Amino acid sequence: MSRFALTVEYDGRPFMGWQRQAHGPSVQEAIERAALAITGETVAVHAAGRTDAGVHARGMRAHLDLERIITPFRLMEALNAKLRPAPVAILDCQLVADDWHARFSCLARHYEYRIISRRAPLTFENGLAWRVPTPLDASAMADAAARLVGRHDFTTFRSAHCQADSPLRTLDRLDVRQQGERISVFASARSFLHHQVRSMVGCLALVGQGKWSADDLQAALEARDRSQLGLNAPPDGLFFLRADYP
């Protein structure tokens, strides 16, 4: 038995999310079906994160185990051939130790959320960014974001369906950068709660619109109450960028 680590890129628009679903297509199922077609083996593909419906990835890490003897390069090429025309690509494939785990060995996860602030509809990036039709003050958003960095109870920014045992998380990074009409929010942590990034970005957008202040954001955090969330951003602009390992 050999364990292969994959780096996966995908457009989340056609999928119900990463995780296998009974009611629609998933990225996990697409890769597992491709592996079955190549090797005849029924495999389980484990990922560093479980992205929601409509969320994308530039560098999701995953792994699978195979009995068949095959080189990483040949496996990568075969998977990509079988995955077409689904918008999923295996960017890299490597042999790893049997105890390496895409989820449990991960030390940090990094996300980017893309906002485009303009009145005109999106064309090329429709579904790949959140269009906010009103101007945003990126500087105010950055100042407010600093209030969320560190170890906190993120209950307010946690989905009601979150299955994590604890709402406590250490947010290592929450940066806001602007380039023209594009605003990117970069978030890094060892792990995130369900909807945490989208919830934080939604509230930062309220700050950028002048509807909330940094104090309002901090008050929402300290309330530890989901009903105090101002806005949950849509999935369109969220990208899983990469995962770090020892």
Q: Which residues are catalytic?
A: 52
Q: Are 229 and 162 in contact (CB under 8 A)?
A: no
β-bridge pairing 56-66 and 238-244:
parallel
* Distance between CA atoms of residues 221 and 134, nearest Å: 25
Q: Which residues lie below 8 Å from residue 142, measured CB to CB, with a gap of 6+?
A: 175, 176
Q: Which residues lie below 8 Å from residue 227, measured CB to CB, with a gap of 6+?
A: none
193 by Cβ neighbours in 10 Å (0-12 / 13-18 / 19+) ranks as: buried
β-bridge pairing 182-189 and 168-179:
antiparallel
